[in-house]
Amino acid sequence: MRIVVALKQVPDTADVRIDPERNTLMRDGVPSIMNPFDAYALEEGLRWRDALGGEVVAITMGPPQAEEMLREAISIGADRAVLLTDRAFAGSDTWATSNTLAAAVRKLGGAELVFAGKQAIDGDTAQVGPGIAASLDWPQVTFVGRVREISGGRLLAERFVEGGFEVVECPLPAVLTMLKDANVPRMPSLRGKMRARTADIARWGRGDLELAPEETGLDGSPTRVVKIATPEARAGGEIHRGSPEELARILADILLGGEAGE
Amino acid sequence: MHYHLPEDILAIRDLCADIGRKHIRPVREELDRENRFPTEIMKVLADSDMFRIYIPEAYGGLGLGALALCIAAEELSRVCAGVATTYAANALGAMPILLSGSEEQKKRFLPDLADGRKLAAFALTEPDAGSDAGGIRTKAIRDGDHYILNGTKQWITNGGEAKIYTVIALTDPDRGPRGASALIVEDGTPGFSYGKKEDKMGIRASATRELIFEDCRVPAENLIGREGTGFMVAMKTLDNSRPGVAAQAVGIAQGALDEAMIYASQRRQFGQRIDSFQGIQFMLADMATQIEAARALVYCVARMIDGGAKKFEKEAAMAKVFASDTAMRVTTDAVQILGGYGYMKEYPVEKMMRDAKITQIYEGTNQIQRNVIASALIRETASREK
Ligand SMILES: Cc1cc2nc3c(=O)[nH]c(=O)nc-3n(C[C@H](O)[C@H](O)[C@H](O)COP(=O)(O)OP(=O)(O)OC[C@H]3O[C@@H](n4cnc5c(N)ncnc54)[C@H](O)[C@@H]3O)c2cc1C
Ligand SMILES: Cc1cc2nc3c(=O)[nH]c(=O)nc-3n(C[C@H](O)[C@H](O)[C@H](O)COP(=O)(O)OP(=O)(O)OC[C@H]3O[C@@H](n4cnc5c(N)ncnc54)[C@H](O)[C@@H]3O)c2cc1C
């Protein structure tokens, strides 16, 4: 069984700053990490490989330095990794990114499963996993909190929804996007680290993926970021003190614009 | 200090630091308080291949040698010496097989130890034979294709938790130490049971327990080397493992210095950070210098072993004495720098000071190490004068 895990390198901070001129994230000086949700996707892939046999291939689309994260994936247990990197990929939105990742899955010769994180903590779109499924025309199960079973060409997963979870059955191949809590990501092993240091990481560009210019990168991106703005800090509320009666009156005054009677 | 450590060893250091941060630090206080064996952490160490580093590749290990083991022991001790002792005692238990075991014994026992599926322990000490290991009384009398083991071993690290024990016993009691032999005894062998678990001052996460042998029948093929070589096997084992104890001591000391540095930068008295007082600064400077000197000596001895040296008992003893005395001094000073807070269990230096003490005692007390060093010196001088 081939299991592909789609990973993204993201800045290691919850509050990235935005370059007001260029409307892009300011990444300089911010260390990069594997997107936290993706660590659960990788672990889920490794578990099913360990249980069912086969290989885990880690893929990412990103700049050359994303190779570092792929080596980390190998140190944790991925069998091999592919870096999709090309100037032609620059400016990809979620649509173009999904196309590009899906093309890589095809070039790998397909897969039984693709795992991705629920969303990336920098863009927060939660669209790339579903996008890959759409591009491959495979079923998708998003927000997966637990994969119960994979057998006989089908899988059974719990997908978390407001107030509970749905148990979804679906045929393979399929794309799953994983939540935290789905598992406990393992640590790298020493043998993994030793292997990661010397592993050959394949690099594929647009040509390798047989994508037309309008299928990837800026030209393949129907959406444009027109503006990124930081919301105005909300003004502090008013604080009133007094007896319950007094406070009720004050509140009523505010709500009714001073029309509260006796 | 830059020690130009090779990549594999740096990877061990990073991994152990990571494990320390994620898996040990959050529970160390609880393990210490509850005297609880760190089963889950041993599993993490096994999954990370840490039990492979000192076992040759032919038996499922990575064959990375003494320096690699020292780095792992140091880094784990920096967070919790109780966990580190539990880990390192496996190397101690495996050492007789590694050094003197037959090919068949290595194939039979080492792969499980490399995987971390089984833990190991080394059993020499008895109630009446500590420093004077030659005074052991446990007997292993040959009976057909078995040895019948009778006696009690005391204070055995990983006792009750390990599955594989290397035990030193007398096969020829009349010959004293010359009649000692090393045997591999597996958990579950009829006649082998565990006695009381000790309630210790420090390294409380580690299990220290009695082994009781009552007509315990051990297959003769579990004899390590030849009959009568047991004492030699034990001494060689200890020579090889002492740099690991020294590395633990360096780690404990470093952990205490780390805490003292942070505390001294945050604590204010007399309107200033206490690390602005020269009295504190000089203490910190001495602590750091002593730690670095100890670390340099330990790494040097480990490299000497990895380089294939045949004799290193003196150097191994020097590393153990120097590093463990340093750990005791540095942890005491760290408590001092934290003042009243340092004396409280809420702060980790209190535990570190208790943990440090064992490194001056086990695997040969520091008095015994000084004996080893002095007799080597006297021998060397005598051979020069000839
Ligand atoms: C927590 C813990 C874990 C242990 N783990 C193991 C283990 O896994 N396997 C194992 O076999 N043993 C183990 N031991 C035993 C340990 O190795 C012994 O405690 C140690 O060798 C000292 O022996 P003793 O405690 O009997 O002290 P003693 O030998 O009774 O010594 C008492 C004091 O006398 C001093 N002394 C003794 N002889 C001399 C001398 N000739 N000259 C000067 N001073 C001397 C000693 O230095 C010491 O200060 C462990 C002990 C502890 C406390
Ligand atoms: C078990 C216990 C019982 C106690 N009982 C009592 C009690 O009954 N009543 C009571 O009032 N107090 C009590 N204390 C408090 C005790 O007196 C203080 O802990 C002690 O005075 C040190 O103060 P500190 O812990 O705040 O350390 P700090 O003053 O913060 O000192 C931290 C470190 O900085 C050093 N330092 C501070 N200033 C300087 C300087 N100018 N130059 C150089 N070094 C400096 C100190 O020597 C120490 O090493 C008790 C403390 C303990 C631990």
Q: Which residue has the higher pLDDT, A195 or A129?
A: A195
**Where residue A27 falls among pLDDT bands split at 50, 70, 90?**
low
Q: What are phi and psi of B29, to 5 degrees?
A: -65, -40
**Nearest alpha-carbon partner for B319 in B294, B343, B341, B282:** B294
Residues of B in contact with A189 (CB under 8 A): 15, 47-49
Whole-number average pLDDT of chain A? 89
Q: Domain tally for chain A?
A: 2
Whether residue A190 and residue B18 make contact (CB cut-off 8 A), yes or no, is: no
A41 assigned to some structural domain: yes
- Which of ligand 1's atoms lies nearest the C-alpha of B366? 47
Which of B8, B14, B47 is facing A194, going by the closest CB pair? Answer: B8
Which of B12, B22, B44 is facing A190, going by the closest CB pair? Answer: B12
A229 assigned to some structural domain: no
- Would you state the pLDDT for residue B134? 93
- A 10 A CB-CB count for B153 gives 27
Whether residue B8 and residue A187 make contact (CB cut-off 8 A), yes or no, is: no
- Which of ligand 1's atoms lies nearest the C-alpha of B92? 8
Ligand 2 neighbour B142 (Cβ under 6 A) = no
B30 contacts chain A (CB < 8 A): no
B363 part of the active site = yes
One domain, residues A171 and A257: no
Rounded mean pLDDT of A92-104? 91
Q: How close B48 gets to chain A, by Cα (Å)?
A: 4
**CATH classification of the domain holding A156:** 3.40.50.620
Whether residue B53 and residue A187 make contact (CB cut-off 8 A), yes or no, is: no
Does position A24 have pLDDT exceeding 90, yes or no?
Answer: no
Structural domain boundaries in chain B:
7-119, 121-227, 231-385
A156 assigned to some structural domain: yes
The one catalytic residue in B74, B75, B350, B363 is B363
Domain holding A247, by residue range, is: 236-262
Residues of B in contact with A186 (CB under 8 A): 47
Q: How many angstroms is it from A219 CA to the middle of ligand 2?
A: 68
- Which of ligand 1's atoms lies nearest the C-alpha of B158? 8
**Where residue A193 falls among pLDDT bands split at 50, 70, 90?**
very high
Ligand 1 neighbour B160 (Cβ under 6 A) = no
Whole-number average pLDDT of chain B? 97
Q: Which residue has the higher pLDDT, B176 or B201?
A: B201
A231 assigned to some structural domain: no
Rounded mean pLDDT of B351-366? 98
Which ligand has the minimum distance to the alpha carbon of residue B88?
A: 1
Which of B14, B22, B48 is facing A189, going by the closest CB pair? Answer: B48
Whether residue B49 and residue A191 make contact (CB cut-off 8 A), yes or no, is: yes
Taking CA atoms only, the protein residue closest to ligand 2 atom 32 is B339
Taking CA atoms only, the protein residue closest to ligand 2 atom 36 is B274
Q: Do the first three CATH levels of B7-119 and B231-385 match, i.e. the same topology?
A: no
Q: How many angstroms is it from B131 CA to the middle of ligand 1?
A: 5
Q: How close B61 gets to chain A, by Cα (Å)?
A: 10
Does position A227 have pLDDT exceeding 90, yes or no?
Answer: no
Does position A22 have pLDDT exceeding 70, yes or no?
Answer: no
Rounded mean pLDDT of B117-131? 97
Q: Which residue has the higher pLDDT, A22 or B380?
A: B380
**Nearest alpha-carbon partner for A109 in A5, A216, A4:** A4
Rounded mean pLDDT of B275-296? 98
Does position B127 have pLDDT exceeding 90, yes or no?
Answer: yes
Q: How close A191 gets to chain B, by Cα (Å)?
A: 7
Measured N-to-C along each axis, helices A67-76 and A36-52 cross at an angle, to the nearest 10 degrees, of 40
One domain, residues A241 and A117: no
- Return the minimum-mean-pLDDT range out of A66-75, A105-114, A230-239, B173-182: A230-239
Rounded mean pLDDT of B239-252? 98
Closest residue in chain A to residue B63, using alpha carbons only: A191
One domain, residues A240 and A213: no
**Where residue B264 falls among pLDDT bands split at 50, 70, 90?**
very high
Domain B7-119 falls under CATH 1.10.1040.10? no
Q: How close B12 gets to chain A, by Cα (Å)?
A: 7
Whether residue A187 and residue B15 make contact (CB cut-off 8 A), yes or no, is: yes
A214 assigned to some structural domain: yes
A225 assigned to some structural domain: no
A vs B, Cβ pairs < 8 A, gives: 37
Ligand 2 neighbour B332 (Cβ under 6 A) = no
A111 assigned to some structural domain: yes
Whether residue B47 and residue A187 make contact (CB cut-off 8 A), yes or no, is: yes
Q: Which CATH class is domain B121-227?
A: mainly beta
Does position B364 have pLDDT exceeding 90, yes or no?
Answer: yes
B143 contacts chain A (CB < 8 A): no
Biggest CA-to-CA distance, chain B: 79
The domain B231-385 is placed in CATH, from the list 1.50.10.10, 1.20.140.10, 3.40.30.10, 3.40.50.11540, at 1.20.140.10
- Would you state the pLDDT for residue A18? 73
Residues of A in contact with B12 (CB under 8 A): 190
Closest residue in chain A to residue B14, using alpha carbons only: A190
- Would you state the pLDDT for residue B150? 98
Whether residue A190 and residue B48 make contact (CB cut-off 8 A), yes or no, is: yes
- Would you state the pLDDT for residue B324? 98
Which of A186, A194, A197 is facing B47, going by the closest CB pair? Answer: A186
A27 assigned to some structural domain: yes
* ipTM exceeding the 0.85 mark: yes
CA B31 – CA B38 distance, rounded (Å) = 7
From B269, B331, B338, give the residue whose CB has the most ligand 2 atoms within 8 Å, as the site to mutate: B269
Q: Read off the pTM.
A: 0.89
One domain, residues A154 and A251: no
Ligand 2 neighbour B146 (Cβ under 6 A) = no
One domain, residues A37 and A160: yes
Does position B351 have pLDDT exceeding 60, yes or no?
Answer: yes
